[in-house]
Structure 1
Amino acid sequence: MSSSPSRPGDGPYTARTPRVVAARKLQRRAERDETGRFLAEGPQAVREALRARAVRELFATVEALSRYEDLATAAGDRVSVVTEEGLAALAETVRPQGLIAVCDHVDVPVPDALARTPRLVAVLAEIRDPGNAGTVLRTADAAGAGAVVFAGDAVDPYNGKCVRASAGSLFHVDVVRSPDAAIPALRASGLRILAATGYGDIDLDDLADEGGLAAPTAWLFGSEAHGLPDELIEAADARVRVPLHGRAESLNLAAAAAVCLYASARAHRKTRAH
């Protein structure tokens, strides 16, 4: 990709330039699925996409190229300069930061993710809210998870809101898209399957005190509106509830996932220390 328009003197690309028009189509899932590409917006996402070698083209305004010289240098001849109007056509935020990358999909098959023997995996079962899904992905990365599985009728991990909510973590962990929760494969890899549910028969604190989080673990999380499907709850090795010490009725999905994943991370840290 060129850092200047295709013909000398053309000036920066606009919203009507064919390459911008083509990239804008990636805001639609059907186009993302067909091309195997997606948009990553903002300096943090672009930086991590460049590190992951996933960037095909970087659209940037003149001001952004000056502000983020390191990213412009890293992108090299993949930079395409756009007008503010052209950038706005690609952006999905109210105040875009001048950088939007066209990236290749980064998801991997289940066997490839499990071949790296992760000690912690998050399974997002039919979670359809992209903000929640991206936040759980970011939390899983922070807690040291090796893979995040988008299972069943889950949101597209390359949805713009999901990508932004992940804050670059999409490029740090193995992202898996699976028609099911892949429980047999997870269990065969030595992972204990824990279902996070408000109706669980064991308290998370009790499970941690009993040493039940020390083993490699795959956590199953369901949608905030409907929870986990019954078949996944039944297939789990244990059904775990997050304790509520105050008067709140429940935690939202992202908060509950953070509590569970960090409880596992702490248990794994103690295991390594011994």
Structure 2
Amino acid sequence: MSAASPTGASGAFTVTTPDGAVLQAFVEGAGPALLLVSGLGGTAGFWKGTTATLARSFRVIRFDQRGIGASTRGSATCTIDQLARDGLSVLDAAGVERAVLLGHSTGGCIGQALGRIAPERLDGLILSATWLKPSHYMGALFGARRAILAENPQAYAATAVLISYPPAWLEANWGVYEAAIAAAPVTPEARQVVRERIDALLSFDGSADIAALPMPTLVLGARDDMIVPSFLQEELAAALPGGRSILLDSGGHFFPVSRPDAFTAKVVEWIGELA
């Protein structure tokens, strides 16, 4: 693994993994390290609206996952464990020995895997809009989304946005929808990256390891989430001995975007309690 960034510096840097993926990463702010890991979309840009606030309290690290955004794919098989190892490579390149990991949706599965692979690297784990193991609901939902992707990438992008946000919020922020359509995975390469990521998340099952995770853990979600319903988040929280659970009354699956103030307040408060 190699990095193109001086340890401790702020700004953009790249990380080259052993299989040749080049990951684009960013560091902002100062304080305890906070690694942000986004979901199926896999972009550092998911956190753009909350990074400025979080960077007032933390050294925030975020990155485009392999094959996404400005990061190249590499040759390794895309699994949740591999994506967790990529997160460790980013921490290493940033010169961070220990961090709190905040993972949203698939990013929370990645966080669970990283906590199992390298528990000594995590001071805490925030599982945002995340689940524990396969379910009928998510299998059917993502199977349908994968089929839509194969036939019509623009329809895939449209439905993804429509089920990710509260309808009233999306109506008032319609540019989010238009941007998603413009960024639809229309090339064969882009569709393949999304397909393999869907396969990876559907294969994830953390139930055998969740009770052994030693770090403090927060399950954070929204009750109106249509992608990872609250009953799945409650199941995850129940499997965590001593874990804490906070479910906002609204915000949809992408509540970090639609309710940034409530989201960042809960994150800052919980990490502050760790100290």
TM-score, scaled relative to structure 2: 0.30
Of the two, which has the highest radius of gyration?
1
TM-score, scaled relative to structure 1: 0.31
